[in-house]
Amino acid sequence: MLSRAHPLALLLSFAAVLRIAAAFTPGFHHPDAIYQYLEPAHRLLTGEGLITWEWRLGMRSWLLPTLLAAPMALGRWIDAAGDLPVLLPKLAVALASLSIVWSAWTIAERHSRQAGWLAGFVAAGWFEFIHFAAQTLAEPVAVAAFLPAAALLTATDPRRRALVTAGALLALAVCLRPHYAPAALALVLTARRGDLLRALPPLVIGGLIVAAIGGAIDLYNHDVPFLWMVENIRQNIVEHRADAFGVDPPLAFVTWYLTMWGWFAIPIVVGVRFGWRRCVPLLVAAAVNLVLHSLIGHKEYRFVFLTTASLVILSAIGWAELLRLAALRWPDRRTLASGAVFALWGLGSVALAFSPAMTRAKANGRAGTLLFADLRNDRAACGVAAVEGATFADVPGVASLRDGVPLSVFAAYDPAYRGGDARLSLRRWSPGFNRIVTSVKTASLLPPGYRATRCEAWDGTRLCVYTRPGRCAPSARSPFAANAALARLNF
């Protein structure tokens, strides 16, 4: 039966298994996966959720939280007290990322079936693609929309329906990640430069459909349509608010690529050298995206995931071209060469998945996610506090707790501390919570009566849940209620 299956079906099945496994892996690549998207989705459904400074300033779109609210609502309907409300959104974005595999196959298969196999195999199994697939972040979801648009636009003679779909997908990518707009424009101009006037109307129609949906979602949430995009640019580009979280030099992304890819950067560069001509518009879009983000002060590796994915796919296509050239010279060694190249990419991905850089990335949020999963199943937990050593960014938010269980935040150097002493404030407000999450290094701050009930390795030490018996007093007026603390500390 497998021999009769379409290659793309096999590749998508392989990719789905890996991505489902990634969705079940505890942790999150960056706190934004929780606080910019899952928490707002939880707020849409329940009215409860942590509100970060970006949301208080109105510089985030409701589009992705609204999309995530659908699988979260399904999870709540099936088992509101279980893990499904958080797991299903991760599974949804993981399965949406299969579009990247389809895109790689479609672009490459136009040149040869072997190129389709290799590009599809790489897209299905490359370690970064799997890692980002299950992250509820704007960047990987935007790439899952952008690359299919690239595949449709770079067809020899795309039909009108394909162009409408491409316009809708590009608009979705830009609504999710506005910084991808220049790359989207570059893609359109280079892919359809010969028939731009014919292609433009259906592209615009598709884009307007998605824009209308995005605007309607803004209106539903009592916001002016797309004002968040203007405010995002003003706060981050004009006011440089994001620079407070760190500024890196223009070549930082190149350094991070060398760190993440290590020795495999050489095969990737070699592949791009031989593969870029097979899809010039994708290379142009990747370059524009990299240059734009290199000019912005605050940088994070996930910001250029569009460039990462494009370069890896182009490199795989380039290696298929090398195989074609090798087969012309050594036809009797074609099978051996093909097996070696597939093994190079497969073993390289596995090796890099366990590199120090990737091990650190996979450890992000793991301890807090495991501890909060225990707290969600703990029926006696009536209030939770994250104390100093564990900031709100180390835990997966109230979306991962049972409904009605409040979260308090006792951050370092909070001006609201009683007498400037965290210990005094903890003792004063401890009746409002009977579970505390903190590092063993700061356990000395805790009031008497708490004992460690579970610990996980975390940041060179251990993150633990400390438990006291008894119930909780109402804590709505506490100055350390999570949203009050975040607003006060401008987090």
Determine the pLDDT at residue 5: 59
Same domain? 229 vs 308: yes
> For each of the chain's 491 residues, which pLDDT tens digit applies?
445 558 999 999 999 999 999 999 999 999 999 999 999 999 999 999 999 999 999 999 999 999 999 999 999 999 988 899 999 999 999 999 999 999 999 999 999 999 999 999 999 999 999 999 999 999 999 999 999 999 999 999 999 999 999 999 999 999 999 999 999 999 999 999 989 999 999 999 999 999 999 999 999 999 999 999 999 888 888 888 888 888 999 999 999 999 999 999 999 999 999 999 999 999 999 999 999 999 999 999 999 999 999 999 999 999 999 999 999 989 888 899 999 999 999 999 999 999 999 999 999 999 999 999 999 999 999 999 999 888 888 999 999 999 999 999 999 888 998 777 889 999 999 999 999 999 999 999 999 999 999 999 998 899 999 999 999 998 878 999 999 999 999 88
Which domain-ending residue is among 363, 394, 423?
363
How many domains are contained in the chain? Answer: 2
Domain containing 157 equals 2-363
Same domain? 67 vs 174: yes
Which domain-ending residue is among 344, 363, 382?
363
Same domain? 443 vs 348: no
Same domain? 395 vs 264: no
Same domain? 346 vs 385: no
Same domain? 210 vs 346: yes
User: What pTM, to 2 d.p., does this model score?
Assistant: 0.95
Same domain? 320 vs 266: yes
Amino acid at position 95, single letter: L
Same domain? 234 vs 108: yes
Same domain? 385 vs 452: yes
Same domain? 304 vs 319: yes
SS (H, E, C) the chain: CHHHCCHHHHHHHHHHHHHHHHHCCCCCCCCHHHHHHHHHHHHHHHCCCCCCHHHHCCCCCCHHHHHHHHHHHHHHHHHCCCCHHHHHHHHHHHHHCHHHHHHHHHHHHCCCHHHHHHHHHHHHHCHHHHHHHCCCCHHHHHHHHHHHHHHHHCCCCCCHHHHHHHHHHHHHHHHHCHHHHHHHHHHHHHHCCCCHHHHHHHHHHHHHHHHHHHHHHHHHCCCCCCHHHHHHHHHHHHCCHHHHHCCCCCCHHHHHHHHHHHHHHHHHHHHHHHHHHHHHHHHHHHHHHHHHHHHCCCCCHHHHHHHHHHHHHHHHHHHHHHHHHHHHHCHHHHHHHHHHHHHHHHHHHHHHHCCHHHHHHHHCCHHHHHHHHHHHHCCCCCCEEEECCCCHHHCCCHHHCCCCCCEEEECCCCCCCHHHCHHHHHHHHHHHCCEEEEEHHHHHHCCCCCEEEEEEEECCEEEEEEECCCCCCCCCCCCCEHHHHHHHHCC
Which domain-ending residue is among 335, 363, 391?
363
Same domain? 297 vs 437: no
CB–CB of 17/95 below 8 Å? no
Same domain? 311 vs 249: yes
